[in-house]
Amino acid sequence: MSSIKIELRKEDVDKINEICDSFNNEPLELINILHKTQEHFGYLPAEVQEAIASRLNISTARVYGVVTFYSFFTMTPKGKHPISICMGTACYVRGAEKVLDEFKKELSIQVGQTTPDGKFSLSSLRCVGACGLAPVVLVGEKTYGRVAPDDVQAILKEYE
Amino acid sequence: MSKFRMHLLVCGGTGCRASESNLIVESLRRELEEKGLGNEVQVIMTGCFGFCEKGPVVKVMPDNTFYVQVKPEDAALIVAEHVIKGRPVQRLLYVDPRSKEHISDSKHMGFYRKQLRIALRNCGFINPENIDEYIARDGYAALGKCLSELSPSEVIDTIKKSGLRGRGGAGFPTGLKWDIASKNQAGQKYVVCNADEGDPGAFMDRSVLEGDPHSVLEAMAICGYSIGATKGLIYIRAEYPLAIQRLKVAIAQAREYGLLGNSIFGTGFSFDIDLRYGAGAFVCGEETALIHSMEGMRGEPTNKPPFPAESGFMGKPTNVNNVETYASIPVIINKGWEWFSSIGTEKSKGTKVFALAGKINNVGLIEVPMGTTLREIIFEIGGGIKNGKKFKAVQTGGPSGGCLTEKHLDIPIDFDNLVAAGSMMGSGGMIVMDEDDCMVSIAKYFLEFTVEESCGKCAPCRIGNKRIHELLEHITKGNGTMADLDRLKNMSYVIKDTALCGLGQTSPNPVLSTMTNFWDEYIAHVTEKRCPAGSCRDLMKYSIDVDKCVGCTACARGCPVNAISGERKGPHFIDQDKCINCGACFEKCKFGAVLIN
């Protein structure tokens, strides 16, 4: 399932069970359970999915199927400063692809990856609804509008 | 309730918040406190005003002064000049680009003049987190009228006669949908609101939920009453945290006021609403996929029939409508179907919200009567094309829609006319493109989206779209042949005819419509290996005009592969064997000496 292997501690398992219990261990609530779990762990590694499956008494395959279906769920940890480049149509026609290329070049990572030091991760998303500011880049909670490829270095500097 | 002599309304839409409108609220409040005006003047963060291009927006009521591009540091000036001395701050007023006049009332701005706001009626007027403000603007009056004066079938009849059609994309008549759900007998039925807005470049549902959440709650209760359901569910994207928070506040307030819950208005009719979260899957906008997702499964669509109105959530009859559709319901009940059906075209009644974006001067959220032309929207409301460039195309309907051109500008827009022109209404994204946009690349962009978002259940969509995308990739790299164009067209029709759900059936539309309207561009890519818009990187050749080159070395320093040589203050040259066509030299050159061929 994933190359990352982690050892779940007892308190991790307790936390997962607590989340599942709060939804009455109801498989119908799987997506809500995954949201809460990802909020806590930051991502959903295979071991966490196995623990959820056993608590809800459903197959790990079903949990894995849901996790990989939805782009909001991730099986790799995000960087300390997750960077998202909006690739909605409005941002695309105003040059978002060039901005994305610049981030890839500066950080030497691809979309969906995290820098080796765990500082930045790169993702693209579809429309944040700030089309007036296109192209838009999000770093954590902060929004940068009308970003040009030349601005990329300065943005990254802010987080050094 | 305390009374204030003046209100400062600050836009809390996504775009304005991204430009720090929350800091404007803080600064205004601090200034007012310091001047001892905290009890006289109230600062409210409202929903989206729509004029995103000129955001952040601050509106002063009752003076009706509309300030644009306000910065947090302007707060002191607004308080000192406008609030205390009653003089509008000229510098922050909108300047008409043609007449150069300062305009203070939004009614007189080109952007608002042709708009008619029905679904967005309260956005930017009320505090979305205060139910009293919604009630003050006739909120929940429609629910009261339905429960006390109208029978469920009379309500359905009103909606039917109004001619309202689903705003989510397909345009199915809403009254008919309700009628079918009401006739299916079951112990439990469900009312679902589809707030899984996934079109890239469309944000109207988000704006309604953030700016006027009660209108959706009220409409869902009305729907519940008319189809015989007591439970409502809102399926909302987890990516919309502010909308989720405002919905939660609104639901809690409505319950407290007895407008949701047991025996509403003491009539014995009970209705309550819960939230369900999406997790980022475009296909979940399709109603059967949405229902599976709400059941905790992969959001894969299933064949229709059975329609959700017969067998939906948990196998029970379920009515699914989109946010904008619900937001129009209370007004129709209040003002009557005759009023609503007098607006619009013969088969499409009322108004439609569009998210206007791309290469246009006034990016924003607009609502216009059906039948308004693209020309009016793009050149009057939208203020024309950015940087004086030439209009080339407008893309409507998102990944399911198509590109319309110059010759379509005067078609009155409604559901049927857009389909006849080879596009569709979709949820209302409208992206304007200029002469620099390559239409083959645009088609490729949308196919990339579809390939990523295809759920993989049916072969035509899973495999076919992937193949189409590969062909487009091939063509934009200069490797396409005329036979590829035939293949592209054939495969598009096969996918349209055979895919399982709406996503697959419409996914080739961007390809087909660009092939119909911009056939020349496809031919140029294939036969001449040339991109007429100058946007396909692999088809471009850069060279330096030795007469214009001053030898500043900016291009050579910017070249990532050291392909440029030349002495300082002497002409430079590009080694075509080394060049990777990145365009860095073109962007660095301040003298226009780098040429694109």
Tell me if chain B has a CB within 8 Å of the CB of A129: yes
| pLDDT at A1 > cutoff 60 | no
Q: What is the CATH number of domain A81-157?
A: 3.40.30.10
Rounded to a whole number, what is the distance in Å from the CA of B160 to chain A's nearest CA? 32
Tell me if chain A has a CB within 8 Å of the CB of B199: yes
pLDDT grade for A3, boundaries at 50, 70 and 90: low
> d(Cα B426, Cα B423) in Å, to the nearest integer?
9
Contacts of A136 in chain B (CB under 8 A): 18
> d(Cα B167, Cα B215) in Å, to the nearest integer?
15
From residue A60, give the alpha-carbon distance in Å to each of A46, B425, B455: 9, 41, 20
Q: What are phi and psi of A157, to 5 degrees?
A: -55, -35
Q: Check CB contact under 8 Å for B52 and A130.
A: yes
Tell me if chain A has a CB within 8 Å of the CB of B426: no
CATH tag for A10-69 (out of 3.30.70, 1.20.120, 1.10.260, 1.10.10): 1.10.10
Containing A41, the helix (H) or strand (E) segment is helix A30-41
Tell me if chain A has a CB within 8 Å of the CB of B336: no
Tell me if chain A has a CB within 8 Å of the CB of B324: no
More confident call, A76 vs B233: B233
Contacts of B560 in chain A (CB under 8 A): 105
Q: Check CB contact under 8 Å for B455 and A31.
A: no
Mutate to test the interface with A, among B275, B277, B314 (most CBs of A within 10 A): B277
Tell me if chain B has a CB within 8 Å of the CB of A96: no
Q: Check CB contact under 8 Å for A93 and B429.
A: no
B554, B560, B561, B566: CA torsion to nearest 10: 10
> d(Cα B172, Cα B156) in Å, to the nearest integer?
15
Containing B135, the helix (H) or strand (E) segment is helix B131-136
Q: What are phi and psi of B190, to 5 degrees?
A: -130, 145
Contacts of B361 in chain A (CB under 8 A): none
Mutate to test the interface with B, among A28, A31, A137 (most CBs of B within 10 A): A31
> d(Cα B243, Cα B195) in Å, to the nearest integer?
10
| Residues 16-75 in B contacting A (C-alpha not used; CB under 8 Å) | 17-19, 52-55
Q: Check CB contact under 8 Å for A134 and B437.
A: no
Q: Is there a contact between B181 and B319 (Cβ–Cβ < 8 Å)? A: yes
Q: Check CB contact under 8 Å for B200 and A88.
A: yes
Who among A69, A70, A131 is closest to B201 (CB)? A131
Rounded to a whole number, what is the distance in Å from the CA of A3 to chain B's nearest CA? 23
Q: Check CB contact under 8 Å for A90 and B296.
A: no
- The radius of gyration of chain A from alpha carbons, rounded to an integer in Å, stands at 18
Tell me if chain A has a CB within 8 Å of the CB of B244: no
Residue with tokens 């769920």: A73
pLDDT grade for A89, boundaries at 50, 70 and 90: confident
Which residues are bridge partners to B412 per DSSP? Answer: B373
Sheet containing B65-67: order of strands: B41-46, B6-11, B58-61, B65-67
Average pLDDT over residues A31-56: 95
Those residues of chain B that have pLDDT short of 70 are 1-2
> d(Cα A49, Cα A59) in Å, to the nearest integer?
10
Tell me if chain A has a CB within 8 Å of the CB of B111: no
**Nearest chain A residue to B313, by CA:** A28
Who among B206, B239, B429 is closest to A89 (CB)? B429
Q: Check CB contact under 8 Å for A66 and B278.
A: no
Residue with tokens 């439970």: B231
Q: Check CB contact under 8 Å for A131 and B357.
A: yes
pLDDT value at position A16? 97
Who among B278, B357, B437 is closest to A134 (CB)? B357
Q: What is the CATH number of domain B351-434?
A: 3.10.20.600
How would you write B163-229 as a 3-class SS string?
CCECCCCCCCEHHHHHHHHHHCCCCCCEEEEEECCCCCCCCHHHHHHHHCHHHHHHHHHHHHHHHCC
> Burial code of B546-581, b = ≥16 C-beta within 10 A, e = fewer?
eeebebbbbbbebbeeebbebeeeeebebeeeebeb
Containing B236, the helix (H) or strand (E) segment is strand B231-236
Tell me if chain B has a CB within 8 Å of the CB of A44: no
Under CATH, to which class is B540-596 assigned? alpha beta
- Check if CATH label 3.40.50.450 holds for domain B131-340: no
pLDDT value at position A4? 61
- The radius of gyration of chain B from alpha carbons, rounded to an integer in Å, stands at 27
Six token digits for residue B407:
């010759």
Diameter over CA atoms, chain A: 52
Sign of CA dihedral B49, B52, B53, B54: positive
Containing B494, the helix (H) or strand (E) segment is helix B482-498
How many CA atoms within 13 Å lie on the side-chain side of B459? 2
| CB contact set of A39 (below 8 Å; sequence gap of 6+) | none
Q: Is there a contact between B427 and B205 (Cβ–Cβ < 8 Å)? A: yes
Q: What is the pTM of this model?
A: 0.92
> d(Cα B105, Cα B112) in Å, to the nearest integer?
10
pLDDT value at position A10? 94
> d(Cα B112, Cα B64) in Å, to the nearest integer?
14
Q: Is there a contact between A131 and A91 (Cβ–Cβ < 8 Å)? A: yes
Containing B3, the helix (H) or strand (E) segment is none
Average pLDDT over residues A77-86: 92
Rounded to a whole number, what is the distance in Å from the CA of A92 to chain B's nearest CA? 8
Q: Check CB contact under 8 Å for A145 and B299.
A: no
Sign of CA dihedral B199, B202, B208, B210: positive
Tell me if chain B has a CB within 8 Å of the CB of A93: yes
> d(Cα B104, Cα B349) in Å, to the nearest integer?
32
B502, B504, B509, B512: CA torsion to nearest 10: -140
Give the domain ranges of chain B: 6-109, 131-340, 351-434, 439-528, 540-596
Q: Check CB contact under 8 Å for B200 and A133.
A: no
| pLDDT at A39 > cutoff 70 | yes
Q: What is the CATH number of domain B6-109?
A: 3.40.30.10
Q: How many CB atoms lie within 10 A of CB B520?
A: 10
Interval B440-497: pLDDT, tens: 999 999 999 999 999 999 999 999 999 999 999 999 999 999 999 999 999 999 999 9
- This complex has an ipTM of 0.90
Rounded to a whole number, what is the distance in Å from the CA of B130 to chain A's nearest CA? 24
Closest CA to B317 of B179, B210, B501, B419: B179
Containing B9, the helix (H) or strand (E) segment is strand B6-11
Q: Is there a contact between B585 and B545 (Cβ–Cβ < 8 Å)? A: no
> d(Cα B430, Cα B448) in Å, to the nearest integer?
19
* CATH 1.10.10 placement within chain A: 10-69
Tell me if chain B has a CB within 8 Å of the CB of A72: yes
| CB contact set of B215 (below 8 Å; sequence gap of 6+) | B119, B121, B122, B134, B139, B208, B326, B327, B330
> d(Cα B285, Cα B277) in Å, to the nearest integer?
12
Rounded to a whole number, what is the distance in Å from the CA of B221 to chain A's nearest CA? 24
| pLDDT at A2 > cutoff 70 | no
3-state secondary structure of B59: strand
Interval B534-593: pLDDT, tens: 888 888 888 899 899 999 999 999 898 899 999 999 899 999 888 888 888 888 899 989
Rounded to a whole number, what is the distance in Å from the CA of B210 to chain A's nearest CA? 12
CATH tag for B439-528 (out of 3.30.70.980, 3.90.980.10, 3.30.365.10, 1.20.1440.230): 1.20.1440.230
Answer whether the bond into residue B56 is a cis peptide, omega within 30°: yes
Q: Check CB contact under 8 Å for A89 and B200.
A: yes
String of DSSP letters for A75-144:
SSPPPSEEEEEE-SHHHHHTTHHHHHHHHHHHHT--TT-B-TTSSEEEEEES--S-GGG-S-EEETTEEE
Q: Is there a contact between B475 and B469 (Cβ–Cβ < 8 Å)? A: no
Contacts of B429 in chain A (CB under 8 A): 89
pLDDT value at position B168? 86
The residue type found at B588 is K
How many CA atoms within 13 Å lie on the side-chain side of B303? 3
